[in-house]
Structure 1
């Protein structure tokens, strides 16, 4: 059973219903629909901390998705999972790939710069970049308070939640 059919959260269920309706209305190919379904299921799994399942869904979405802009968000989320797992070098690779496809993805840029500073042992610069990333996340969370659970946890753990 696809994850989208297992959601217990009201907001996830509502999002799934709206997304399914939009997929029927908006003229898209079957391939695009499948890619979006895998991406949506990946986001759901990621928000629940099911990183292995999220990665499987994201990799499948990457196999199907051809739009560079949409791919940038998939790559960014893969980078977030690697960051959460402490795999900073892998996370950097995915942030770079996301930015190659979408140079105006500020959260990927800031996370990438923060990760680079960590690897170079420059904690002051790292803090500045992560603080800027936190600003973007706080803005996103203010627009959708029940979303971005992973980011909210990161903000709380790092003392950046205001």
Structure 2
């Protein structure tokens, strides 16, 4: 039974009913509708912390989905799972794949920056200042790109860029 048919939560049930109605009414292919159903079930599983189930649904959605923009959001959500489980290399790979399909995705840019910043902090704590600076510079680059796309977002990143002197543009301050 698909996850969307197992939801006990009123809001989830309401969303599922609306999504099913939209899917039935949209003039789209059966494959695209299936891809969306797997994506929706993946998001539901992810929200419940059922990461293995979410990844399985996202993988199935990727096999069915042809639209690059939609594929980018599937890859992005997969990246979130890997990042939350500490697999930064896999998360970075997925975020980069999402950006290849959808370069106007500030949330992927932000999450890449967050990982690089975290790795910089880890290197700094280990006394590897050159490695830390390299990671911090990468984080700054990705945060600046994200801020260019979404100037009203990532306020903490904007402040970090400014206070660390890593801001190359003052356009967003």
Range of TM-score over shorter length: 0.7 to 0.9
Deviation at 1:53, TM superposition (A): 0.2
Question: CA offsets per residue over residues 33-81 of structure 1, 9 Å max, x none?
Answer: 0000000000000000000000000000000000000000000000000
- The CA deviation string for residues 118-157 of structure 1, in whole angstroms up to 9 with x for no partner, is 335348945995xx89x859xxxxxxxxxxxxxxxxxxxx
Query: How far is 1:104 from its partner?
Result: 1.2
What's the counterpart of residue 114 of structure 2? Answer: 114
Aligned to 1:90: 90
Where 1:27 maps in the other structure, the secondary structure is coil
Cα deviation for residue 17 of structure 1 reads 0.5
Structure 2: where are the runs of 5+ without partners? 124-131, 155-173
Gaps of 5+ in 1: 138-162
- Paired residue total: 135
Alpha carbon RMSD of aligned pairs, Å?
2.5
Deviation above 2 Å: which 4+ runs of structure 1?
116-129
Kindly indicate whether the alpha-carbon contact (under 8 Å) linking 1:92 and 1:116 is maintained by their aligned counterparts in 2. no
Which one scores higher on RCO, CA 8 angstroms, separation ≥ 6? 1
> TM-score with structure 1 length normalisation?
0.75
Higher Cα radius of gyration: 2
52-61 or 107-116, which deviates more: 107-116
